[in-house]
Chain A
Amino acid sequence: MPDISRETLLKIYRNMVRLRFFDDKVNELVASGIGITQHSTRGQEATTVAACAALEPQDYVMPYHRGWGWAIGKGMDPKILLAELLGKKTGCCAGKGGVHVADWSLRIMGRPGVQAAHVPLAAGVGLSIKFRKTWDVVLCFFGDGASNEGNVHEGINLASVWKVPVVFICENNLYALFTPYEETTSVKDIADRAQGYGIPGVIVDGNDAIAVYEVAREAIERARSGKGPTLIESKTYRIHGHTAMDRFHLGGYRPKEEVEEWEKKDPVNRLRERLIEMKTASEAELGEIERRAKQEIEEAEKFAKESPYPTVEEIFCDTYVE
């Protein structure tokens, strides 16, 4: 039995289910012709949600492009998130960020559009925490594709030499757009690169929410106690394509059997089975969580669609602090 409270386990499950329905909803909106740059999280719900569950409210998240698990995991209301994706003024960035989701009160920093641009920023947030002595931690996500960017090297090197409280989580889903991992990356495990910075490198089964929570919790505690960064590699798989454009597996860049194999390891189902097996919750309780999540996402859609767009005046402010 894992040493995790029932409350936390149910929170992780609830957020993974909410994320799953949210992801489905965005896919549905995209299919209906609404322009949203959707990088689906189907199959990858466990990593971002379970890792965020190990954070305190005052801790920071540096998000990356894939999905919205770090937003929902850090406590964002799906209404506000969906309104932002639709460019509405009720969104978390007043309709001006779109996919660049951020929320000051939840300490979700801006989701970058440039791969790995945020990794050095995470080191800087860590530096700021060290100067201000607030004992917060930064959780910085990036993907296997971005792991080959120079900024990942520069950012992890800075965080390591400064020994600041940043936990780096690389979600390795085996594809960068339509390019297989081994075509661009010389090492089998990205976690090996931690050695080059003198920090721990940990590999975790990214489809096992409980395992992710446990390694994240340990790395976060280590960071908070002043021992510096950890690089966690979460081995996972994206069930849908890079964006909506390749949902039919463009050009057959990956075998159908591979997708089917990974579908069997679905992280939501896996956690559900574990919770029942451990008697953390009954079938009926989990069913109720799912029903409520579904309803919440339907309400989010209504809210987002009915919300107004920002005015021209609102679009033209905030370039500078006046």
Chain B
Amino acid sequence: MASREMTYGEAIREGLREEMRRDERVILLGEDIKINVWAVTRELHKDFGERVINTPLSESGFSGAAVGAALTGMRPVVEIMYADFTMYAADSIANQAAKYRYMCGGGEFKVPVVFRVAGGGSANGGGCHHGQSLEATFIHFPGLKVVFPSTPYDAKGLIKTAIRDDNPVLFYEHKLLYGVKGEVPEEEYVLPLGKAEVKREGKDVTIVSYAWTLHKALRASEQLARERIEAEVIDLRSLRPLDKECILNSLQKTSKLVTAEEGTKMGGVGAEIAAVVAEEGLQYLDAPVKRIAGAEVIIPSSRYADQMVIPQVEDIVRGVKELF
């Protein structure tokens, strides 16, 4: 299959462009999305005109408007400029989008909306209002799907599926991945939501991660290999639904679990995985579960200090070695 190299941001833009061509019900809404600080939606308005809407600064308002438009025949894709700002939009996402279908008794009530959220990236001086990883907050809500790709290939395939899905999808994009390049096929493709991927096979320990931290986990696994520890690295890709089967299958082989994420530890994604394994796969483990996660402090805005509070490659290596 012929492919070319493009960045994560470009791959998402190509996915958006293809879906907008395919389905005229797809519209884009968000703050300053014609020029766009992340450049993902930049210049799409030149091809799609009024279907690309610069909204007022009102995250709750335009997220709610997207729910209303989705209910009545459109397929809106909303951009929330920073994951931190989902706190403003939380009611529209978690109380309205997630629950509308059910509380109306199903049937014709559907909310096919995608919330694209720029998340993570605390190690850039953004601080506590521009650098949080809040995806774990939203996995708590039935009715939502939550996706967080780590590569340009996954980002394109998953944004297309998210747009075609009849349910509300929170589609996280990692700010530090926007410029990262990878191979993307020239042919059209889509990827299923709810499917994790084994990125590296190994027999000694399973590292479950996603997004930017996934890349750190892969680098950690190379260091570990030099010390004769073969780590299996799983990229979750979707956080809800969670691909339990992929995790449990891996643990049957490795018997050791390490989770790695940028968000804070308490109530995090790793906490949920550890709980699933405790319920459904405790018999596979021969060591305690190790969670590598953001420190329980507010993210400082110093460009260097914040690197101390989110997991680095060395933290993952150290965490794995503690289990041996």
Contacts and interface: CB of A to CB of B under 8 A. Distances in A.
B1 interface: no
A94 B69 contact: no
Contacts of A104: 104, 107-109
Nearest to B61: A154
Interface stretch (A125-133, A234-242, A274-282): A125-133
A95 B69 CA distance: 25
B94 to A, nearest CB: 10
Contacts of A93: 103-105
Given A114-B95, A120-B60, A129-B72, A102 B105 contact: yes
Nearest to A123: B65
A155 interface: yes
A17 B20 CA distance: 49
Interface in B42-78: 51, 55-56, 58, 60-74, 76
Contacts of B68: 62, 109, 120-128
B56 A158 contact: yes
A150 B60 contact: yes
A92 interface: yes
Interface stretch (A19-27, A178-186, A312-320): A312-320
A120 B100 CA distance: 14
Given A102-B109, A112-B96, A127 B61 contact: no
Contact of A317 (B64, B106, B166): B106
Interface string B85-129: 000000110011000111111111110000000000000000000
A319 B143 contact: yes
B27 interface: yes
Contact of B61 (A60, A97, A114, A120): A120
Interface size range of chain B in the complex: 35 or more
A39 interface: no
Interface in B161-179: 166-167
Closest 6 pairs (CB-CB, A-B): A124-B68, A154-B61, A120-B64, A318-B106, A93-B105, A124-B65
A154 B100 CA distance: 20
Nearest to A124: B68
A47 interface: no
A129 to B, nearest CB: 7
A110 interface: yes
Contacts of B67: 120-121, 124
Interface string B270-312: 0000000000000000000000000000000000000000000
Nearest to B64: A120
17 contacts: A94-B106, A95-B105, A100-B103, A109-B68, A112-B96, A114-B91, A114-B95, A118-B96, A119-B64, A121-B68, A121-B96, A123-B64, A154-B62, A155-B65, A157-B56, A319-B102, A321-B110
B92 A125 contact: no
Interface string A85-101: 00000011111110010
Interface string A290-322: 000000000000000000000000000111110
A318 B101 contact: yes
A161 interface: yes
A243 to B, nearest CB: 19
Given A114-B95, A117-B92, A120-B63, A109 B73 contact: no
Given A109-B71, A128-B69, A120 B103 contact: no
Nearest to A89: B105
Contact of A158 (B65, B72, B91, B143): B65
A321 B70 CA distance: 13
A117 B71 contact: no
B60 A151 contact: yes
B23 to A, nearest CB: 12
A53 to B, nearest CB: 22
Contacts of A94: 105-106
B143 A127 contact: no
Q: Which of B25, B105, B106, B166 has the most CB of A within 10 A?
A: B105
Given A110-B104, A124-B71, 8 more contacts: A62-B68, A93-B104, A120-B62, A124-B67, A127-B68, A158-B56, A158-B58, A317-B106
Contact of B72 (A113, A128, A157): A128
Nearest to A321: B166
A104 B27 CA distance: 23
Nearest to A131: B74
A157 B58 contact: yes
A48 to B, nearest CB: 19
A97 B99 CA distance: 10
Contacts of B65: 120-121, 123-124, 127, 155, 158
B112 to A, nearest CB: 8
A146 to B, nearest CB: 13
B227 to A, nearest CB: 44
A131 B64 contact: no
A131 B70 CA distance: 12
A317 B91 CA distance: 23
A124 B61 CA distance: 9
A185 B145 CA distance: 39
Interface string B135-152: 000000011010000000
Kindly name the residue among B55, B65, B110 whose own CB sees the greatest number of chain A CB atoms within 10 A. B65
A140 to B, nearest CB: 10
Contact of B167 (A97, A122, A320): A320
Interface string A63-99: 0000000000000000000000000000111111100
B78 to A, nearest CB: 10
B61 A157 contact: yes
Interface in A244-294: none
Nearest to A129: B72
A150 B27 CA distance: 25
